[in-house]
Amino acid sequence: MNDPLKSALQSLPHGPEFRFIDRLISLEPGRSGAGEYLVRGDEPFLRGHFPGEPFFPGVLLVEAAAQLAGTVAQSDPALPPMLGLKLTALRGVKILGSARPGEVIRLEARVIARLGNLIQSQASAWVGDRLVLQAELTLSGDLAG
């Protein structure tokens, strides 16, 4: 049986070393979704961020949120997926914390508007009950056809 949550993650163009969603935990296709990423501790970037006190970089929290927003947007059954969907603008980004090895980052994203090849979304990230990121993200890509 085809798992729609696993299938939706297939839309991510990123290779495994730059994918910051391990699994989707909910998906309302084209509208909203939630996912998780476990900070394993063996990620190469943690060796330098920071030696002896590793934590997940804030800019990668934004990337993880953009990956989830893109996954949500590309799952809309009423619209063909966009080619080359990318993060193109950030607004109201607040990095309020981070995650350390062994912690799970829970991401949430909601598509709030679409206009042609632009997708506007709101995203947040949590570690336990701590809000660590709030952001408005704009994604853009090439319309198929």
Cis-peptide into 50, omega within 30 deg: yes
Mean pLDDT across the chain: 94
More confident residue, 42 or 7: 42
- β-strand 104-115 against 130-142: which pairing, if any? unpaired
Residue 128: both structure tokens together: 């336990």
Report how far residue 127's alpha carbon sits from residue 99's, in angstroms, rounded to the nearest whole number.
7
Domain of 34, CATH number, reads: 3.10.129.10
| pTM reported for the whole predicted model | 0.94
What's the pLDDT at 145?
60
Of these residues, 19, 30, 43, 49, which one is catalytic? Answer: 49
**Rg of the Cα atoms in the chain:** 15
User: Domain range holding 28?
Assistant: 4-142
How confident is the model over 25-42, as pLDDT tens digits? 999 999 999 999 999 999
Structural domain count, the chain: 1
14 catalytic? Reply is no
The tokens for 3 are 């798992």
Mean pLDDT of 99-122: 97
The one-letter code for the residue type at 86 is K
